[in-house]
Structure 1
C-alpha cells in the first residue's frame, strides 16, 4: 500500500464513526501563519513510526471543503520551504490533491526519518516533537534519549539497568528460580549454567567476565525493583478508595518484585480488593470483575507503557463504582478498534517475553478474551480513554439494565458486534437480548439499542435490503 492509498484509508478511519485525529494524520482547515508550529508538526511526523500526513480541507469538526488552486499552491510552497530550511536537516515531503467524498483535499506526506529525533534548526536536541493522542507535543528529555538510543538500534529492553557485576551478583539481584518455574525447566546445578540460560532470554549480558542486567531482566525478575535506580517509578501501584472519588484513600501499595515474579500475586491482590466477601458455611470472595479481564488489561498496561515518560507508573485504582487501569503513553491503535486490530507495542521484546513466559495470552487475543468474559458476567462495557501521555481503561461492576444510560448500552452493543464478527458471526435482536439478559418480550428494547448504535455509526446492517427488522443482522462499521 503506497502512502496515498494509506492516507485515504486513514482519513476515512479518522472521520468515522466518531471524528478524531490520529497520530499518523492531522486535519487542517487552513495554513497557519506560525512557521515554528508548522515546523513542529513536520518534526513530529518525521519522528513518528511510519511518518504521517497533514490533510488540508478538513475542519475541526471533521467536515470537509474544497481547496482552491491558489490555496494548494501556497500551502505546498510554504511547507516545502519549512521542510527544507527550518529543520536540522532537509526533510523530503510529498503532496497530492485527491478526491474524498466529492471534495478536493490536499495531502502532505512526511516520511519517518532514520536519523531521529528530527530537531528544529537552531534549537538543541531536546526541542523535538512527537505525535501523541492525535496531537503534536514536545518530547520529554527521557523520550528524546529513548528515541536516540532506539534509532541507533538499542531498544529500552536491551539497555543495562545494572552493570559491572559478577555472575554471582546476577543471581542475587534476579529471582532466577521464578524464571525457571515459568519456562517449565529445572534449575541448573551451576551458576554458569543458570546465568547462560538467563542470557539466552536477554535478561543479562556478559563480556570478558563482566556482566550486566538488562532493563528487560530487571523489569521482569527483580527481587526488589529498588535495587535498580534507573527503573525508579516503574513499579505497579495499586490504590483503593472508600468511595467514588479519590478524596478518601484506604491504602496505596507499591509493587516490589519484577513484573513476571509478582504478576500472579498482583492479580490475586486486585481480585481480593474488588470482590465481595460472602459469609456462609465457608468464607469466600465473590468476584466483582472477571479475573481474565483484569489479567489481560493489567498485562496490556505493563506491556504498552511508554518508558520515555516518567512520573506515570502503571496504576490500578479501585473505586466503589469502577476499576481504573492507567499506563503511560497514548494508545498506538484507535481506541475504537482495540478488538479487531493487531496489537502494536512500544516494547516488542517485553511483550514477546511475557507471552513466552505465559503471562500474556496469544498475541492479539487479550482484549477479545477480556471483553468476552465481561459479557459472560453481564457487566457494562469497559471504557477506553486516551490522553496525550496516557491510556486508561475503566471496568464497571454489575448494573441493572434500567440504570444503564444510553451510551453504556451503545458501547456494549458495539463491542458485542466486534466480538461476534471476530468469531465469524453477526449480531441480531436475539444476541443483543442475550447480551443484556433481556427476555423475548423485550425485543423492542433490543431493537432500540441496535438502532441507537446504528445511528452513531458504530454498526451497520449486513444487508440493508432486508425488510424484516426481526431477521436483520449487523456488523461493526469498519468491516
Structure 2
C-alpha cells in the first residue's frame, strides 16, 4: 500500500500515525502493533492525517537501518521491521512496516507487553496484555497445543471415571476402537498424557471433576440463555468437562427446537428452526476452538431472531471472517481429535461449510460472523421465517435432477433472490468470491435453468428464472424483476433523499416496490458507489446523500 493510500484511509487497527516519537515509545508502539495484526506506522504525520514531516533522528538525517536496529535490539523476542524514508511534498515521512509477532508475543526489554485493539468508538489504542494472554499467544504462535500442557499437581484422582465412561460410550457409537481402552490408555491414545507428569490440561478439560476444572481451568464456564419471552426463557450457568457440557447444551437446544413442514411434490419436508448440523457445529466449535486463557464464559443464546454463540478469544491463527469457509484450523488439535472420535464434530473438517449449506437450503440467511473481533468469535444464525417458495424451488430442482446444489451455488442463488437481480461483479464483491469462480458458478446455474441473464457486458445482470416465480404463484414479480432498471431505481431513491433528507430500508422497499432484502442490495450498491452514506446499524440504519452525511 503506497503512502497516499495509507494517508487517505487514516488510522485503523493496522495503521498508526505519529507526528514525532522517541525511541522508547516507538518500540512500545511497534511491539503493540505486532501483537495484533501487524501493520504500518508513519512518523511525521498528525493523527488527522496531516503531514508535518519527521525530524531527523541521527544528526542531520535519518538512517532507516539504525531505526530498525533499535527496534530489533530492544524487543523480546527481537522484532524485525522494515524501515523506509518517503518524501511527501517538502516533508519526509518515516515508514515502519511491522510484521505479526512470530513467535509471539513481542514485548520491550523493559517487560512491557501490549496489544493494539479498537475501543468502543472504533478508535485504535494499545492495552496491556494479561498474563493469560501472553501465555496463550505464546503457545499459539509457537505451534504448541495448550491441551498438552501439564496440569501441575494434578493426579488421576482429579479425573472423573464417569466421564471416561461417557467418552467410551460415544466412541462406541462411532465405532472407534478407543472405546475398548482403559482410562489411562485413553489419555495416551488421545495424546493427553505428558511425558513429565500424568495429567495434562486437556485431560482436565475432557474428564476432570468440577473442583479440578475450577482449579486448573477456571475460565471453562458456559452460559445457555433463552432470551425469548415465555416458559422456555432461561439463564443457565454450566461448569463441567467438555463432552458433558456439549451434551447438556445439545439437550437444552433440542428441547426448544421446532420444525415447519412443507410439501415438495409428493414428499413431506421438515425444516427445523435450528438444523442439527448447526447446533452440533456451533457448540463443538465453541468448546474446542475457544481460548481458555481468556476471561469470560462461552455464551449460547436463542433470541426471537437469532441463534448466537459468543466465544472468548479470536479466531485461530490463519482463519479470518473472510476465509472461514476455506480454512479449518483448530486451536487445539488434541481436543479437536477427541471430539472427532466421539462423533461431536464433522469428520470431513468442513462443519462450518455444512452449517452454511443447511441454513441456505432451509431458505434462511447465511450465518453471520461480522460481530467477531480480536477478542471474541461471534456467530449469529438467523432464525427468521424460511423462504418456503425458495425451498420448494431448490428441492424441486434437486429432486428432478438428482443433484445437490453446491454451497457456492446456493450462496449465489440466495444473493440473487434477495436482491432481485445482480451483476456478476456485484456477486463477486458481496460474496467475496473471485470473478472467475462467479463466472463458472453462474454459467452452471444458467445452463441448469435456475437463473436468467439480462443485458450484455457490464450492464449484464442475473435474476431467478420464471420457473421460480411460477412455483411461488407470483408471476407478476418475475415481470417486475426482469424489467427493473437499476439506474431508474437509484434515481428514484436519490430524488427521495434529496427531498426528505434520508431514507430507510423499509421506505426504499416501498418506493421501489420490492422486498427489504432487494432494497438493501440497491442501497448497499449506492453506498459502495459513494452516492449515499449509511448512518446507524441494522433496523435503525438510514441513508443520507454523501455530501450531507
Q: Given the two structures, how large is their TM-score scaled by the length of structure 1? A: 0.65
The separation in 1 between residues aligned to 2:520 and 2:49, in whole angstroms, is 30
The 2-side partners of 1:154 and 1:287 are apart by 39
Paired residues in the alignment total 412
- Considering Cα pairs closer than 8 Å and 6+ residues apart, tell me whether 1 or 2 has the greater RCO: 1
User: Could you tell me which residue of structure 1 aligns to residue 135 of structure 2?
Assistant: 145
Distance 1:431 1:80 in 2: 57
- Correspondence 1:50-69 to 2 at 5 A: 52-54=38-40, 56=42
Q: How far does residue 130 in structure 1 lie from its aligned partner after superposition? A: 2.9
Mapped partners of 2:195, 2:108: distance in 1: 39
Which position in structure 2 is the counterpart of 1:252? 235
Distance in 1 (alpha carbons) for counterparts of 2:181 and 2:356: 45
Give the superposition deviation at 1:357.
4.1
- Structure 2 residue 175 is the aligned partner of structure 1 residue 184: yes
Question: Larger C-alpha radius of gyration, 1 or 2?
Answer: 2
Higher helix share goes to which structure?
Answer: 2
Q: Is the 8 A contact 1:303 1:345 kept in 2?
A: yes
Where in structure 2 are the equivalents of 1:75-90 lying within 5 Å? 76=64, 80=68, 83-84=71-72, 87=75
Query: The residue matched to 1:218 in structure 2 has which SS?
Result: helix
1:54-453 alignment, distance < 5 Å: 54=40, 56=42, 76=64, 80=68, 83-84=71-72, 87=75, 91-96=79-84, 108-111=96-99, 116-122=104-110, 124=111, 127-132=112-117, 136-147=126-137, 154-161=144-151, 163-166=153-156, 170=159, 172=161, 174-179=163-168, 181-182=170-171, 184-185=175-176, 191=182, 194-205=183-194, 211-212=198-199, 214-222=200-208, 224=210, 227-243=213-229, 250-273=233-256, 275=258, 287-310=272-295, 312-331=296-315, 336-361=321-346, 365-383=350-368, 384-399=370-385, 417=431, 421=437, 425-426=441-442, 429-431=462-464, 439-443=477-481, 444=484, 445=514, 451-453=522-524
Deviations 1:78-116, CA, capped at 9 Å, x for gaps = 9547515654575432235799xxxx9975233456675
- Distance in 1 (CA, whole Å) between partners of 2:243 and 2:31 is 37
> Structure 2: how far apart are the matches of 1:441 and 1:19?
45
Gap change, CA 1:98 and 1:60, over 3 Å in 2: closer
Deviation at 1:315? Answer: 0.7
Question: CA separation in 1, counterparts of 2:362 and 2:479?
Answer: 22
C-alpha deviation, 1:457, in angstroms:
5.2
- The whole-number CA distance in structure 2 between the counterparts of 1:105 and 1:180 is 65
Select between 259-268 and 169-178 the one with higher mean Cα deviation: 169-178
SS of aligned partner of 1:232: coil
| Alpha-carbon contact 2:228-2:303 (below 8 Å) kept | yes
Q: CA deviation at 1:129?
A: 1.8
Aligned to 1:282: none
For the residue of structure 2 that corresponds to 1:391, the secondary structure is strand
TM-score w.r.t. structure 2 length? 0.58
Distance change (3 Å), C-alpha of 1:84 and 1:226: closer
Distance 2:25 2:279 in 1: 41
C-alpha deviation, 1:326, in angstroms? 0.6
Structure 1 CA distance, aligned partners of 2:181 and 2:386? 59
Any idea what the Cα deviations from partners look like across 1:46-101, whole Å, max 9, x if unmatched? Answer: 446xx73315499999x9999979899769589547515654575432235799xx
Structure 2 residue ranges without an equivalent (≥5): 119-123, 262-269, 388-414, 420-425, 446-460, 485-513, 530-549
Task: Give the superposed CA RMSD.
Answer: 5.2
For residues 174 and 249 of structure 1, do their structure 2 counterparts lie closer, same or farther at Cα, with a shift above 3 Å needed?
Answer: closer
Distance 1:417 1:153 in 2: 32
Identify if the C-alpha distance between structure 1 residues 394 and 354 changes in structure 2 by more than 3 Å, giving closer, same or farther. same
User: Residues 199 and 391 from structure 1, CA distance in 2 versus in 1: closer, same or farther, beyond 3 angstroms?
Assistant: same
CA displacement at 1:201 relative to structure 2: 1.0
Task: Give yes or no for contact 1:223–1:257 (8 Å, CA) kept in 2.
Answer: yes
Is 1:378–1:398's contact at 8 Å kept on the other side of the alignment?
A: no
Distance of aligned partners of 1:409 and 1:40 in 2 relative to their CA distance in 1, 3 Å threshold: farther
* Structure 1 position 271, deviation (Å): 3.4
